Copies of this chain bind each other. A is one copy, B any other.
Amino acid sequence: MRNLLHIDSSVRGERSLSRRLSSLFIEQWLSRNPTDHVIRRDLSVESPPFITGKWIESAFTKPGTRSVEMNLALAASDQLISELENSDIIVIGSPMYNYGMPALLKAWVDQVIRVDRTFSFDLNRGDWPLEPMLAGKELVLITSSGEFGFSKGEIRHEMNHLHTHFQSISCYLGVEKTHHVQVEYQEFSDDRHKASYAIAHDNILSLVDRMSQVAQI
């Protein structure tokens, strides 16, 4: 049995394409792997709190010596990290807002990437003192953007701070393999958008197929 963490961050509800496609992934996955379990985290329904000064102070205080107030400051983080720890596959639906992830999703990231929980820090490692503490997870990142050409070598690649940002942080989520599915051209509502959506839809189906086969070996 595998655990899937299903995260959505679009605020557009049923109109959201990243949400529609992340749901498609989960639905198809469960039809192929009916005994697997899904942890649902819809950030638009329950917003993660912003981290605070107390949060940072608490994270850098040893667990046994934290005050009640400190434990409270980390409560949301504890919950979100435990969901992450318990997952084998992380499915994130994320629209591109202003060329990056929605603030809601960044708030989640800032809550779950935490010293001595998801990464360790040791200056004896020299110029690269951080190391991930979680491992073995796969990330399915499903993005939707109004414009297009954000992939490597394309016209807006330099403006892509969404997929590339996840490339930099995913190791601290315990991710060892990332699958990226994207819909582009949303604001053009034209044939290119329809084609992009159709390809993304098919990519989800074949991704479920491939990942399920590996999971069953």
Contact = CB atoms under 8 A, between A and B. Distances in A.
Contacts of A56: 11-12
Interface in A75-123: 97-104, 106-107, 109-110, 113, 121, 123
A188 B123 contact: yes
Interface size class of A (residues with CB under 8 A): 35 or more
Given A99-B168, A102-B106, A129-B187, 9 more contacts: A12-B56, A44-B53, A50-B102, A98-B169, A103-B104, A107-B107, A130-B147, A158-B164, A161-B165
Given A11-B50, A52-B11, A98 B113 contact: yes
12 contacts: A50-B103, A51-B102, A97-B110, A98-B110, A98-B169, A102-B106, A103-B103, A127-B148, A130-B147, A159-B168, A161-B161, A161-B164
A99 B113 CA distance: 11
A164 B47 CA distance: 26
B11 A53 contact: yes
State the oligomeric state as a number of copies. 2
Q: Which of A106, A123, A147 has the most CB of B within 10 A?
A: A106
Given A53-B12, A164-B161, A168-B161, A107 B103 contact: yes
Contact of A165 (B11, B12, B99): B99
Contacts of A50: 11, 47, 102-104, 107
A165 B97 CA distance: 12
